[in-house]
């Protein structure tokens, strides 16, 4: 069943943030604004990581990825507008 994420939840934080940041090759960072309508989510979604992670990730990250997820959902999505980045 599709529903709005609960206010203050991790699901809301993930689906309702409207700013992105990207590191540049020169060491600087750019910030960009994103616009989209609120996304409804499905919460009856099972998530897990399978496979040989040791060869792909550092040991600390492998242990983190083996842990149960803090949140598991699928977002409805929509068209998204991404504005020109601004160097910080």
Is this model's pTM higher than 0.75 or not? Answer: no
**Local structure of residue 51 (DSSP, 8 states):** S
Work out the pLDDT band at 51, boundaries 50, 70, 90: confident
Residues 6+ apart with CB under 8 A from 28: 87, 88
Q: Residue 29 in contact with residue 22, Cβ under 8 Å?
A: yes
* Segments making up each domain of the chain, as ranges: 10-87
Taking the C-alpha atoms of residue 10 and residue 64, their distance in angstroms, rounded to an integer, is 17
Residues 6+ apart with CB under 8 A from 18: 33, 34, 35, 36
Work out the pLDDT band at 55, boundaries 50, 70, 90: confident
- Summarised one tens digit per residue, pLDDT across range 19-50 is 999 999 999 999 999 999 999 999 888 888 88
Between 34 and 52, the higher pLDDT residue: 34
């Amino acid at each position: 069943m599709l529903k709005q994420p609960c206010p203050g939840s991790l699901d809301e934080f993930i689906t309702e943030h409207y700013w992105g940041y990207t590191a540049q090759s020169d060491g600087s960072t750019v910030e960009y604004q994103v616009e989209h309508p609120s996304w409804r989510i499905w919460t009856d979604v099972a998530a897990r990581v399978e496979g040989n992670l040791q060869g792909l990730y550092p040991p600390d990250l492998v242990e983190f990825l083996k842990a149960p997820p803090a949140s598991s959902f699928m977002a409805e999505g929509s068209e998204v507008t991404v504005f020109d980045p601004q160097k910080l």
